[in-house]
Amino acid sequence: MKLKQKLQIVEISRVSPPAVHAAFTDLMENPFDKSSSSLLCCYRQATDHVSRDGAIVILTLRKETLEVINKVLIKELGTDLRDPKLMYDGQRAIVTAFAKTIDENEQAHTKMLSVFSTTGQSWSSKHWFGDDGWWIWKPQWINNKAFGFAYHRPADYISLYEGDPTRAMRVHKPNVFGLAKNNKGFPNESALLFDHDGEATVFLRRDADTFSAQFGTSTPPYTKWFWHDLGIYIGGPCAIALTKTTFLVAGRHVNWETREFSTRLWHFDKTNKTLTEILTMPSSGDTSYPGLILDNDLLYMSYYSSHIDNQARVYVAKIDGVKSLF
């Protein structure tokens, strides 16, 4: 099956302003729009890839034109807010982010932060949760509870957290995957999904030894996980399910020989554990961290890239032909 010929980019729109570093995106249907004609998109706005002034931008985008119809800025003085992620618990849209504060003694303090909205227009005050130093990566809701994998670089493993990002999240299963347990180092960012039967799947980034991403599965109560090495690197992974056994996966690809970076889209067959590249987005340099939304045959994809003017910008693309992949 020649999957590369199946998809077509219909439109790409830059949704971030010029002259700032705009990166680390996520995308979600606007749950408060009864007409289903808008999206919520979030990203980090700062002066650089790593700087102390990172703020969260939350946009409302019109689906048809990708124009910005509402913009909210969330910031914390002296704190870098990184990698905002969107989720919906059935009543509230929630954004989580990793907050890094440098004190007067140049010591770093890190915690998770959340805000929520019941309208998509205005957002709550900031709430701090999680354990110091542990980065809980895009929690997902199932049965009125959120689960999310967290990593802490010195630990060299990931733990599964559960709870409510607007209240508290605690360790559900420690050391699910890591160097000592699996002989594979520095697991970190993840794309966690739950199907209608409660089965969990996860695509996991790694940044050590072979740098190969992992695919994991589990069933309730999510204390026992099975892992498969995917054989390639995927940075900032994001995934959506097409069927119970097929997925779209997006993230950063690295050509290790040339050190060239791009944002790509893969088709994943869960039955035979194969990843097939289907699309490379216009991208290079500082790039990746996509968000994915499927609307019938149309895929909306947010991501960032510095391919045009060497400045990180946020883009949203419309991609047609997804039904041909089912």
Q: Each residue of 241-277: pLDDT tens digit?
A: 999 999 999 999 999 999 999 999 999 999 999 999 9
Coil vs helix vs strand at 34: coil
Distances, alpha carbon 87 to alpha carbons 104, 130, 165, 193, 296, in Å? 34, 17, 10, 12, 20
Q: Are 255 and 279 in contact (CB under 8 A)?
A: no
Q: What pLDDT, on the 0 to 100 scale, is given for residue 4?
A: 61
Query: What is the DSSP secondary-structure string of 39-81?
Result: EEEEEEEESSSS-TT-EEEEEEEETTT--EEEEEEE--TTEEE
Of 49, 113, 117, the residue nearest 81 (C-alpha) = 113
| pLDDT profile of the chain (326 residues), mean per 10 | 76 92 98 98 95 96 97 95 97 97 85 97 96 97 97 97 98 98 98 97 98 98 98 98 97 96 98 96 97 96 95 97 87
Backbone torsion region of residue 37, taken as left when φ is above 0, otherwise alpha when ψ lies between -120 and 50, otherwise beta = alpha
The number of CA neighbours under 13 Å toward the Cβ of 322 is: 24
Q: What pLDDT, on the 0 to 100 scale, is given for residue 136?
A: 98
Give the integer Cα–Cα distance in Å for 240 and 160.
Answer: 20
Q: What pLDDT, on the 0 to 100 scale, is given for residue 194?
A: 98
Q: What pLDDT, on the 0 to 100 scale, is given for residue 3?
A: 63
Q: What pLDDT, on the 0 to 100 scale, is given for residue 108?
A: 85
Q: What pLDDT, on the 0 to 100 scale, is given for residue 259?
A: 93
Of 215, 217, 134, 205, the residue nearest 169 (C-alpha) = 134
CA end-to-end span of the chain: 12
Torsion of the alpha carbons at 145, 151, 152 and 153, rounded to the nearest 10: -170
